[in-house]
Amino acid sequence: MDTKTVKDIAFLARIRVADDQLDSLAGELSAIIGWVEQLAEVYTEGVEPMTSVVEMALPRRDDEVTDGRCREDVLANAPDGTDDFYTVPKVVE
């Protein structure tokens, strides 16, 4: 990776990089890209996707619609409220 590419990446990432650091950063980014390219060489045919390295069942819950059972606590955060609703300023004419 050349220093112009590193400058472009830094600009897009909104990172200020001093000119004297561009060469070392180019080397580091090239090494990182090399590691990523190595991952593409790994044979993964027939390997099931995993969420964890140990076999485990994900916890399930019933899918039911509720009001959260804490309406008063939520409305206590409102700077202004009317009855059981937030009151907000009108933003569309």
* Domain ranges, residue 17: 3-40
Would you give per-residue pLDDT tens digits along the chain (93 residues)?
899 999 999 999 999 999 999 999 999 999 999 999 999 899 989 988 887 888 888 888 888 888 788 888 888 888 887 888 888 888 887
Residue at 25 is within a domain: yes
In a domain, 23, yes or no: yes
pTM over 0.75: no
Please check whether residue 87 lies inside any domain of the structure. Answer: no
In a domain, 47, yes or no: no
Split into its structural domains, the chain has a count of 1
Q: Tell me whether residue 13 is in a domain.
A: yes
Region label for 17, one of left (φ > 0), alpha (ψ between -120 and 50) or beta (otherwise): beta
Residue 93, domain member (yes or no): no
User: Is residue 86 a part of any domain in this protein?
Assistant: no
The helix (H) or strand (E) run that includes residue 71 is helix 71-75
